[in-house]
């Protein structure tokens, strides 16, 4: 019997991850109830679910911005549970890129400097190599001529493209995008989505995209649906028989 290609290495592994807030208080509430999830290198996944389902909490845990109450979270095979704050920050900076809904660029810096920022934070001092990385990425997102512009002089779509370039500056294995097209018009949203897709294919970067837009979700390879703090469904888009989104209204 012929063997298929080996599955790609896991970038992210969650096993029995739980998250509760107000621990020990009468108001204690658990919002994630044992999440098991694996993302492999090169995957392009959508994370969907209704408001309050725990998507953002899950994204914060995966982004190492918060710690789970229980369970195991591995980034490229490294268990993050025992890491000190400084080591966790370093791992986050080197392994995870972020794209936010409101792009969240640092307005005191130019477009190129914003793209350089993760490298600058990691190394401490600016360098020519960083500059080249930033310029190359800005060229890839079509903003080469805007590199020395203050970011607040760019349009919303341009700013989001800068944010995508910034998320890729450290060439991280995993990029988390929280509603990256939520504030953009359809054309800009498509452009931003296409960019992420292109980087996913050309670099093999794993993307996990939180979205409320069914159209964009269906353009991903895999859709993970979270409802009430649990993964309700997790399947390749091709395998989905019915729309993953409830009808509007």
- Judged by the rule CB under 8 A, the positions of this chain that interact with another protein are 60, 63, 65-66, 85-86, 89-90, 92-94, 98, 100, 104, 106-109, 113, 116-118, 120-122, 124-128, 166, 170
Compute the distance between CA of residue 39 and CA of residue 232 in angstroms, rounded to an integer: 16
3-class DSSP assignment, residue 205: coil
In angstroms, what is the minimal distance from the CB of 6 to another protein?
A: 31
Cα distances from 10 to residues 112, 205, 231, in angstroms, run 31, 12, 18
Compute the distance between CA of residue 227 and CA of residue 55 in angstroms, rounded to an integer: 8
User: Judging by beta carbons within 10 Å of its beta carbon (0-12, 13-18, 19+), is residue 89 exposed, middle or buried?
Assistant: middle
Compute the distance between CA of residue 55 and CA of residue 82 in angstroms, rounded to an integer: 24
Pick between residue 65 and residue 144 the one whose CB is nearest to another protein: 65
In angstroms, what is the minimal distance from the CB of 69 to another protein?
A: 14
Residue spans of beta strands (DSSP E) within 22-92: 29-40, 44-48, 70-75, 78-79
In angstroms, what is the minimal distance from the CB of 165 to another protein?
A: 13
Pick between residue 104 and residue 219 the one whose CB is nearest to another protein: 104
Pick between residue 160 and residue 244 the one whose CB is nearest to another protein: 160
φ, ψ at 159 (rounded to 5°): -60, -40
Pick between residue 117 and residue 223 the one whose CB is nearest to another protein: 117
In angstroms, what is the minimal distance from the CB of 220 to another protein?
A: 23
Pick between residue 65 and residue 74 the one whose CB is nearest to another protein: 65
In angstroms, what is the minimal distance from the CB of 30 to another protein?
A: 17
Residue whose C-alpha is closest to residue 72's, from 18, 124, 22, 116? 18
């Amino acid at each position: 019997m012929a063997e298929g290609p080996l599955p790609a290495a896991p970038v992210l592994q969650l096993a029995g991850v739980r998250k509760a807030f107000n621990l020990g208080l009468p108001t204690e509430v658990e919002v994630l109830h044992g999440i098991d999830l694996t993302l492999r290198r090169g995957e392009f996944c959508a994370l969907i679910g209704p408001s309050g389902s725990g998507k953002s909490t899950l994204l914060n845990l995966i982004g190492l911005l918060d710690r789970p109450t229980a369970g195991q979270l591995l980034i490229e095979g490294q268990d993050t549970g025992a890491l000190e704050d400084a080591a966790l920050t370093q791992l986050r900076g080197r392994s995870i890129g972020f794209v936010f809904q409101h792009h969240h660029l640092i307005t005191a810096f130019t477009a190129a400097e914003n793209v350089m920022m993760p490298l600058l934070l990691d190394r401490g001092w600016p360098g020519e190599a960083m500059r080249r990385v930033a310029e190359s990425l800005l060229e890839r997102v079509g903003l080469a001529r805007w590199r020395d512009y203050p970011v607040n002089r760019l349009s919303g779509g341009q700013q989001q493209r800068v944010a995508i370039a910034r998320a890729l500056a450290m060439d991280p294995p995993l990029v988390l995008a929280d509603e990256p097209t939520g504030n953009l018009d359809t054309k800009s949203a498509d452009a931003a989505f296409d960019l992420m897709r292109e980087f996913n294919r050309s670099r093999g970067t794993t993307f996990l995209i939180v979205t409320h837009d069914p159209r964009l979700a269906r353009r991903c390879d895999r859709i993970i649906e979270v409802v009430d703090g649990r993964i309700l469904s997790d399947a390749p888009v091709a395998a989905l028989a019915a729309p993953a989104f409830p009808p509007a209204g």
